[in-house]
Amino acid sequence: MPTNDLMSTSTEERPRSEPYLPPATQPVRAVVWAIHLALPMLGLWLLLANHDDLNGKWHDNLSHFWLIIAVAGINVVLGVMIGQASARRADARLLLVSLVFLSSAGFFLMHGLATPKIILGKGTYGFDLSQPVGLLVASVFAAVSALPLSERAARAVLGAQIWLRGGLAALLALWGAASLVPGLTALSAPAPGAGAGLGGAELAGVALYSVAAVMMFRLHRRRPAAMLVSLITAYALLAEAMVAGMFRHNWHMSWWLWHLLLTLAFVFVAYSAHLQFRREGTGAGVFDSVALSATVLRIRAEYEDALEELVGHLRRRAETRVPVATRLAGKFGLTEGQAAVLDRAGEALANERELSERLAALVDTGRQARVGLPERELLTQALDRVRQAYGDVRMTLVADGRVAMGSREYGPADFPGGEPVRLGGAVVHPLTVKGQLAGALEVPVGRTPQDEALAATLAGQLSIALENARLYQELSTLFRQYMSPDVANSLLADPRTAALGGELVELTALFADLKGFTSFSERSAPGEIVEMLNRYHTAAVPIILSHGGTIVQFVGDALLALFNAPAPQPGHATAAARAALAMQEAAEEIAAGTAGYPRFRIGINTGLALVGNIGSPELRGFNAMGDCVNVAARLEGIAEPGTVVIGQSTLDQIAPRPRVRSLGELSLKGKEQPVHAYVLSGLP
């Protein structure tokens, strides 16, 4: 799997605060690079400005022929290699770049074959025009290759590749015949010694190469790569070669200059490809950095898939017993050295991935061990999550002082000092609660030292979770037997809620007691009194709790329940009224079956009250105080057995309006102003 510059971080992945400058575009290097490109033009100016002194003539037909043949050969090899990369990656830009090299190489070859006294006796128009025409054709491919082609345009280019290559081959064949067969066309006719040119068309070629170089430079800014720098340089040198060739002083130094520029352009790219090949050990990805963005993203996805496959193979290699490199080298075109390195890197990646998964499982186990989760559900969820990261994990709780794990049993003596027991391919860790053996956790032996430490941490986390679950169950059972669930939940979630103090809250208070309880007590045995109270409260308590009420007091035969405290409760007045009517219905069923039982009377009132923990630092209780609660107690006192009396403030908050009977304005003990009261008989 070749690695190349396309894997470098793109600008989208870099911080925006400081723009990234790749090495070739850093200020100093950019200046040096520009100077190198400017030197040939300076040399051309010197040659032309001092025509007689410097721009001397060197006429060597054979040297020219072999130079052209060698450079054209290099160019053809480059074009073929880039074309193969285009076919392998299905990339339109690589196809166009390959045509740049093939077209310039083809016409350069025609120029070499037309060298005087090789095939033809004299210099011809074909000899003069072959390279300008070739450079012009190549400039069109270069400009198009630098464009950010859309997917639709890229598909169109790839779909037309047969026509593009075939058309180029046909053009070269026709040009060769026209320029090399004597008398066939004007191209094979002798040309004046000063040479022929294309006129203004050459300027168009220079402009196209310049645009291509600028566009490739912008691509290099987004995706730094050595091959892109080489291509930019080649386009710039080809543009300069066209400029040098426009002066047409055949066989003079200025004429040889454009040959030198062409040679440098092609050799520069070839040398960069050679260095890339040596660095990677394969030619599969030498030109990937030049490809379109969609191709680069696809290549990155292929590499990621390859790494995932590698990790998967590494995890299964204990079962397959086949080296990973053997299975992947052929698929991804790896050399033996690359496969060995990738094997070791993949193993490190697999270990790192496994470590990350086990850390995540440890975190999730701690998150799942929340207060209130039943012990069995807690352990089941934790075990399911742990098995995803650790594999075949088993957990057993203690029974009769022993832990049965498969065919083996463990006791406290098997884990001296809390140390685990090692059994070949597994390690058994003790689970403890309050320092006593509560169970055991069997985990497969890991491949790294971190695995053993994580397994021990996991056992400790499960021990804590198990102890918390059991402690919470004990506290929850104890709290809920002595206080309302809302108060118990609040205390368990945040012990600071037990602090002394309170706040002013609007609530609905419900007072209930048993009318006739005193006379019943005088004629009944203590056991009968307790049984009677328990029967009534057993019926009343679930009703109040199911309607969202909080019971804060039991005083003999009386109870006080609050609605909208401590937990907020919309429609608390209606909920209290429904609970009261349901209590009376249940009480009637109890009293109907036993003669002489007293009857509930209930008073309800809504208003502001101070709600909180009242008492001392040593002993406190949750309660409510205020005029609202006092009025509820007074209304309960005037209620007839089996009825519910509500105050005006409660009636105003019950919607839709219930069925009531007015008792008029009542003067209640402790109240200066009369209170309008009603007997509640039903709700819509």
Domain ranges of the chain: 59-281, 298-357, 369-482, 489-682
The predicted pLDDT at position 89 comes to: 82
Residue 461 has pLDDT above 50, yes or no: yes
Binned at pLDDT 50, 70 and 90, residue 13 comes out as very low
111 token code pair = 């120029």
Which residue's entry shows tokens 């059972």?
Answer: 477
Binned at pLDDT 50, 70 and 90, residue 232 comes out as confident
Residue 494 has pLDDT above 60, yes or no: no
pLDDT top residue among 97 and 282: 97
pLDDT top residue among 478 and 118: 118
pLDDT top residue among 252 and 256: 256
Return the amino acid letter for 267: V
Query: Which of 43-52, 96-105, 337-346 is predicted with the least confidence, judged by mean pLDDT?
Result: 43-52
Residue 176 has pLDDT above 50, yes or no: yes
Mean pLDDT of 602-614: 91
The predicted pLDDT at position 579 comes to: 96
User: Is 171 within 8 Å of 133 (Cβ atoms)?
Assistant: no
The predicted pLDDT at position 499 comes to: 56
Same fold, 59-281 and 369-482: no
Binned at pLDDT 50, 70 and 90, residue 318 comes out as very low
Mean pLDDT of 163-190: 83
Binned at pLDDT 50, 70 and 90, residue 5 comes out as very low
Name the most confidently modeled range: 42-46, 87-91, 632-636.
Answer: 632-636
pLDDT top residue among 231 and 481: 231
Residues 6+ apart with CB under 8 A from 571: none
Residue 606, phi then psi, degrees to nearest 5: -120, 140
pLDDT top residue among 335 and 137: 137
Mean pLDDT of 624-638: 93
- Angstrom distance (rounded) from CA 300 to CA 322: 27
- Angstrom distance (rounded) from CA 50 to CA 53: 6
Q: What is the length of the chain?
A: 684
- Angstrom distance (rounded) from CA 325 to CA 559: 78
Strands 421-423 and 408-410: what pairing? unpaired
- Angstrom distance (rounded) from CA 326 to CA 336: 9
- Three-class secondary structure of residue 214 per DSSP: helix
Mean pLDDT of 239-254: 63
**Fold adopted by 369-482:** Beta-Lactamase (3.30.450)
Mean pLDDT of 191-213: 72
- Which residue from 110, 66, 64, 104 is spatially nearest to 251, judged by alpha carbons? 64
User: Is 532 within 8 Å of 540 (Cβ atoms)?
Assistant: no
- Average pLDDT of the chain, as a whole number: 75
Kindly state the percentage of the chain with pLDDT values over 70. 68
Give burial (CB, 10 Å; 0-12/13-18/19+) of 121. Answer: exposed
- Which residue from 582, 574, 590 is spatially nearest to 646, judged by alpha carbons? 574
Give burial (CB, 10 Å; 0-12/13-18/19+) of 152. Answer: exposed
The predicted pLDDT at position 21 comes to: 42
Binned at pLDDT 50, 70 and 90, residue 44 comes out as very low
State the architecture of 59-281 in CATH terms.
Answer: Up-down Bundle (1.20)
- Angstrom distance (rounded) from CA 544 to CA 485: 11
Residue 198 has pLDDT above 80, yes or no: no
- Say how many CA atoms lie within 13 Å of 377 toward its Cβ: 8
Mean pLDDT of 581-610: 90
- Global confidence as pTM: 0.47
What counts of helices (H) and strands (E) characterise the chain? 20, 14
pLDDT top residue among 496 and 593: 593
Mean pLDDT of 150-175: 88
Question: Using CA atoms in the order 94, 174, 235, 132, what is the torsion angle rounded to 10 degrees?
Answer: -170
Residue 590 has pLDDT above 70, yes or no: yes
For the packed helices 151-159 and 161-180, what is the interaxial angle rounded to 10 degrees?
50
pLDDT digits (tens, 9 = 90+) for 552-588: 888 888 999 999 988 888 999 999 999 999 999 999 9
Strand order in the sheet with 436-444: 394-397, 436-444, 426-433, 421-423
Residues 6+ apart with CB under 8 A from 337: 281
Binned at pLDDT 50, 70 and 90, residue 22 comes out as very low
The predicted pLDDT at position 78 comes to: 79
The predicted pLDDT at position 7 comes to: 38
- Angstrom distance (rounded) from CA 206 to CA 633: 102
Class of domain 489-682: alpha beta
Binned at pLDDT 50, 70 and 90, residue 2 comes out as very low
- Angstrom distance (rounded) from CA 213 to CA 272: 17
Mean pLDDT of 359-380: 68
